[in-house]
């Protein structure tokens, strides 16, 4: 039911509505995960999959809405191509990117809020990933510029891989990028809520510190996923070769933009 509360038309007119929708979706997903998950003992080590279940319960209902949005956008894509071919991909789909950015921010706030209130072990999967990332970052703390360059390369390579997954997941399954976005939002949210924030009201303030590199990074994932989804929808609809050719070239252009955003995000994260 929740996935139907906000219509495509409303979201397109007011992309910021995706923020409270995503916050509510993330909160419900976390509570459902707590009810259905259980600890698994592996080699005498207790593993709690609640954090992973929360991401999956965000993905399942959200994928319906995002797939619906991508299909409608592919139809609009064809209309724009016929009537306003001079418009670039970014101009035609800037609202879609804003929608997914608000989706990311809403999920980040949800995971940040509840990870601050609830026991940290409920988000064991995210904590493990956070420790892994901190371990990589710690290896270059106080190091020379050459090590920073090496760190930049590792961050860049990792983010380019995630961007590639976002494209191919969306090409194979229209809403594939939703999982990438939900997973990254859960990691950032848990890091802010469980590790950095001293009060609930501190969570939005701390999150702002990640936005300088987080916005271009997530925008890169979103644009790549949107390109993959639209390309997939265009192939499935099997429209005339002229329109398909334009959409393919648009996808190549937007992938170039996505790569540029990923480079920018890595540079900001390492050097600023």
Tens of pLDDT, residues 183-236: 999 999 999 998 888 888 888 888 888 888 888 999 899 889 888 877 877 777
CA distance 93 to 243: 16
Instruction: Decide: helix, strand or coil at residue 197.
Output: coil
What global pTM score does this model have?
0.85
DSSP secondary structure, 69-121, as one string: HHHHHHHHHHHHHHH-TTS-HHHHHHHHHHHHHHHHHHHHHHHHHHHHHS-GG
Kindly report which listed range (35-44, 110-119, 156-165, 167-176) carries the lowest average pLDDT score: 35-44
66 band by pLDDT with thresholds 50, 70 and 90: confident
Which sequence spans correspond to the domains of the chain? 2-271
Q: What is the structure's pLDDT at 74? A: 63
Which pLDDT score, from 0 to 100, does residue 159 have? Answer: 92
Who's near 67: CB < 8 A, 6+ residues apart? 174, 175, 229
């Amino acid at each position: 039911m929740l996935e139907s509360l906000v219509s495509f038309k409303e979201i397109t007119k007011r992309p910021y509505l995706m923020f409270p929708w995503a916050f509510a979706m993330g909160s419900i997903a976390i509570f459902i995960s707590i009810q259905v998950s259980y600890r698994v003992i592996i080699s005498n080590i207790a593993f709690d999959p609640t954090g992973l279940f929360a991401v999956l319960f965000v993905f399942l209902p959200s994928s319906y809405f995002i797939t619906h949005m991508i299909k409608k956008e592919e139809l609009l894509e064809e209309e724009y191509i016929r009537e306003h071919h001079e418009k670039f991909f970014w101009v035609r789909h800037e609202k879609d990117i804003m929608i997914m950015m608000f989706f990311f921010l809403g999920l980040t706030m949800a995971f940040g809020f509840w990870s601050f209130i609830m026991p940290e072990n409920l988000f064991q999967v995210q904590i493990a990933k956070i420790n892994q990332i901190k371990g990589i970052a710690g290896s270059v703390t106080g190091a020379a510029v050459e090590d920073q360059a090496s760190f930049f390369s590792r961050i860049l390579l990792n983010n380019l891989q995630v961007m590639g997954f976002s494209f191919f997941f969306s090409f194979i399954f229209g809403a594939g990028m939703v999982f990438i976005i939900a997973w990254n939002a859960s990691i950032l949210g848990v890091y802010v809520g469980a590790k950095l924030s001293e009060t609930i009201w501190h969570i939005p303030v701390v999150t702002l510190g990640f936005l300088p590199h987080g916005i271009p990074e997530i925008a890169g994932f979103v644009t790549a996923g949107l390109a993959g989804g639209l390309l997939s929808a265009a192939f499935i609809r099997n429209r005339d070769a002229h329109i398909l050719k334009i959409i393919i070239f648009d996808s190549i252009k937007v992938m170039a933009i996505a790569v540029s955003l990923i480079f920018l995000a890595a540079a900001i994260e390492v050097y600023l």
